[in-house]
Structure 1
Amino acid sequence: MTFFEQAPMGRHASRRRRSLVGRVSTAAMLVVLAAATVGGLWLMSQDSKADEPLLERIFPALAAAPPPLSAEFADLADRMMLTAEGREVFASTQPRYADADEIAALCRDESHDPENESTLGCFTGFEQSRAQDRIFIYRPTDERLGQSTVTTAAHELLHAVYARMSSDEKTRVAELLSAATALVSADDPVHDQIAASMDGDDEKRATEQFAYLGSQVHPDTGFSAELEQIYARTITDRAALVETHRRAVAVLDDVRAAVARAWEDVAAAEQANAQTRAQLEADVDALSKAAARFADDRAEFEATSPEDRARWRVTLTPAGGEPITMSWEESIAYRDDDLNRIRGEHNARRTELELAEAEAARLRADTQALQDDALALLRDAYPGQTFEG
């Protein structure tokens, strides 16, 4: 992909973990439930924690409170403008930063096409226990892309929030999201992002809409009051969160635009220099021909006797001036001086042109460096993608 082609959309993977651990845990739970049924109420009566949810009694490790947010993720929660409820859910997912290779491994999705998309984060877990939910966030190395981690984290957190909704609430939210999506401009890239993350699985539509719209789209009047109230349980200022996303996108847009403007300046300078050089070379060629004619005329003058020279008068018309009549000898001196004057002008023009060409070469080198930096920024923003100048 060349630098000036549309960059790939960042992709967020949200999937249920279908690992061996998930399957074994489910099977184990069914075995214990069967044992409890066979044993009647004996198991319940022998358990001093009979009031706790059954899953948590069966798997006490899963019921343990998640560790508090570390300082860096507490700061990220502040930047996401999370409510107390939102921070609690965020902490429960034990969020973790990861580099491009780790994200590729942790968020691997067989349906994902790495040639066209980049995965920026994922939410993973399984329905039997929300205690197993995890959020992985791709963190670019370039500080200019720091705001993008806010959008990624908010997106994945909204997946976790949606996963915790009851079936009835998910049904209602899906209806609200369908109406909200219809309000988004058809050319908004969020539609392609939603489709890419769904990858043809319609069951993912609502959760992807909930995550993408919640973190990236805020109409002037917001979405419906009901949907905004649902988002408000997690995010205190969704408009500000979306503005953070806009600024993150603008970083790449501004860099790309700056490179485009710089190349336009290079092209303009080089074109102007090329035209100047072409005109100078044409003028030098004309001067060479004029000098050759003058050499012939001066040879003729020098071959003529002084008496015959004196009998001739010459009329010269300077460029842009009035005709001047003078003796033949005076005309030779006048023309010689004029040719030397023009040679001096040409030398000055050549020196000025060489300085301009050197400046254009410096501008080209600076612009190439600017583009190289922008390419590095794009590669950092979209891991796994190939960009060429």
Structure 2
Amino acid sequence: MTSDDLPRSPTGRVPRWVVEEAAGRQPGSEPSTPWHGYASVEPPAPRRRSLTTRLAVVVAVALMAWWGATTVLPGLLREADAPFLDGIVAGRVPEPTPEVVALADEMFLTDRGRDLLYMAQPELLGAEEFAGRCGRGDSGTAGSGGAVGCYHTSAGGLETGGRIVVYTPADPRLRGFVVETAAHELLHAAWTELTSDERAAAATTLAAVVAGIDPADDLHAQLAGSVADRPQNRPTEMFAYVGTQVWAPGGLDPALEELYGRYVADREALVGVHTAFQGQIDAMTAEVTSAQQALSQRQYDQALGVAQLEADTANLAQYRGTIEQEEARLAGLPAAERARSLLSWTWRDGTALPEAPAAELLADARALLARDEAELAARGAALQTGAAEVAAEEERVAAVRADLEALFAQLNPG
């Protein structure tokens, strides 16, 4: 049949299997590959639909057109085990949980993107539940130490049970991380919907985009970690990583943006989720680094102040000892000789005590001694207060650092 005669879904789109059968190919004959460290399982051999099944599809599409104005599908369609509506099984998109609906909102999805997400029945799992769910062969998003999400697929794509699994840390501050991971996995599912020609053209464009990204950008390491030793996964990984992390004013290549636009209504905003999350992590890291540097300076200043106080206290003790010795010497002199005794002195801070009767000079020295003892006492009290403040700041910085480390640890479910 001509392209104009191909059966279409109520949305106007032609299911991929219909196009393939019209072209004389078996549906799903091009093996799809799972993705992300995000993770990929080897697909089973494609299974051609029986004539009965294909007739059931035609009947189902006809019934859908007849009942299109109703809000509830007849039981026959709800229970039918026949793929239609662009790969949707059982006649309608599964009812999503409120959590998944909220996630779709945060991913800025189109209606088509929502349908694709809901059909993949995302599992949002904590670390314990997530363990072992994204294996070596799954397409997905790679964290620092392993997979944080994956899209399990097979030769028939979503028609035979594509599923999204996303690791969901408990800390609400990591929500952007969850949204980005889920969007990454959704784009893996979207990749399976593209035609061979669309994928080939997109792969060429994506390769050019990735080549133009700063070599120091984390995207390169993430991409390499997700692809690992499966180069056949590189195109879909580029599609997912670029789609969620790379934006330029006005968008990238128009043809590439058209593909993304089928599933994401506002890709700039979606990339903004990634940018905001990275900015949040960078800000927290900068805060800890700055606090640690400021604390180190305070610790140094405190130690220096204590050392200087100890040195000044020892030096003043020598001057006190000299005064006491002169006072004892002067007291031992006969009165006449004591009256004739003269002294001059330069105090520890450089203050000159000109030659004067010994008793007068020693009295002046005593005044300077009392002044310096009061100053050292005040410095000592300030250093004690400073020591308490430094100790409190040490606890605060340690807590902030531990919080950041715990946050980073949550990014890796392993």
Same fold by TM (over 0.5)?
A: yes
Partner of 2:370: 340
Unaligned runs of 5+ in 2: 1-35, 62-76
The match for 2:7 is none
Corresponding residue SS for 2:247: coil
Q: Within 1, Cα distance between the matches of 2:256 and 2:196?
A: 16
Structure 2 match to 1:263: 292
Conserved in 2, the CA contact under 8 Å of 1:135 and 1:157? yes
Q: Does 1:96 align with 2:128?
A: no
Matched ranges for 1:195-274 at <5 A: 195-274=224-303
Residues 14 and 156, structure 1, Cα contact 8 Å, conserved in 2: no
Aligned counterparts, 1:277-288, within 5 A: 277-288=306-317
Instruction: Provide the rounded CA distance (Å) in 1 between the counterparts of 2:270 and 2:230.
Output: 28
Partner residue, 1:87: 114
* Pair 1:77-2:107 in alignment: no
Alpha-carbon distance between aligned partners in 2 of 1:242 and 1:184, rounded to the nearest angstrom? 15
Given residue 118 of structure 2, which amino acid in structure 1 is its aligned partner? A
**Cα contact 1:121–1:137 (8 A) shared by 2:** yes
Cα distance 1:211–1:48, how it changes in 2: closer, same or farther (>3 A)? closer
1:80–1:150: 8 Å Cα contact kept in structure 2? yes
Distance 1:152 1:115 in 2: 10
Matched, 1:63 2:89: yes
Aligned residue in 1 for 2:41:
16
* % identical aligned pairs: 29
Greater relative contact order (Cα 8 A, min sep 6): structure 1 or 2? 1
- Report how far residue 12 of structure 1 moved: 3.3
**Match for residue 186 of structure 1?**
215
Q: 1:376 aligns with which of 406, 409, 412?
A: 406
User: d(CA) in 2 for partners of 1:308 and 1:282?
Assistant: 37
Partner of 2:145 in structure 1?
117
Contact 2:143 2:411 in 1 (8 A): no
**Given residue 239 of structure 1, which amino acid in structure 2 is its aligned partner?**
E
Greater mean alpha carbon deviation, residues 233-242 or residues 289-298: 289-298
TM-score by length of 1: 0.83
Partner AA of 1:121 in structure 2: G
The answer on whether the counterparts of 1:17 and 1:124 sit within 8 Å (CA) in structure 2 is no
Query: Are residues 1:313 and 2:342 paired?
Result: yes
> For the Cα contact (< 8 Å) 2:81–2:89, is it kept in 1?
yes
1:169, distance to aligned residue in structure 2 (A): 1.8
- CA offset digits 1:49-107 (Å, max 9, x no partner): 66569xx9995498313312222211211111111111111111111201123323111
SS at 2:338 equivalent? helix
Number of residue-to-residue matches in the alignment = 354
The Cα RMSD (Å) is 2.8
* C-alpha separation in 1, matches of 2:358 and 2:181: 87
- Give the secondary structure class of the aligned counterpart of 1:105: coil
- 1:235 is paired with a residue whose SS is coil
Residue 345 of structure 1: how far off its partner (Å): 1.4
Query: Partners in 2 of 1:170 and 1:49 — Cα distance?
Result: 27
Q: Distance in 1 between matches of 2:154 and 2:104?
A: 24
The CA distance in 1 between the partners of 2:372 and 2:257, in whole Å, is 77
Which amino acid in 2 is paired with 1:178? A
Does the residue aligned with 2:37 lie in a helix, a strand or coil?
strand
Mapped pair 1:352 → 2:370: no
Displacement of 1:221 after TM fit? 4.2
Q: CA offsets, 1:339-380, max 9 Å, x none? A: 222222111111111111111111001111111111111111
1: CA distance between counterparts of 2:157 and 2:218?
34
Letter of the 1:357 counterpart: A
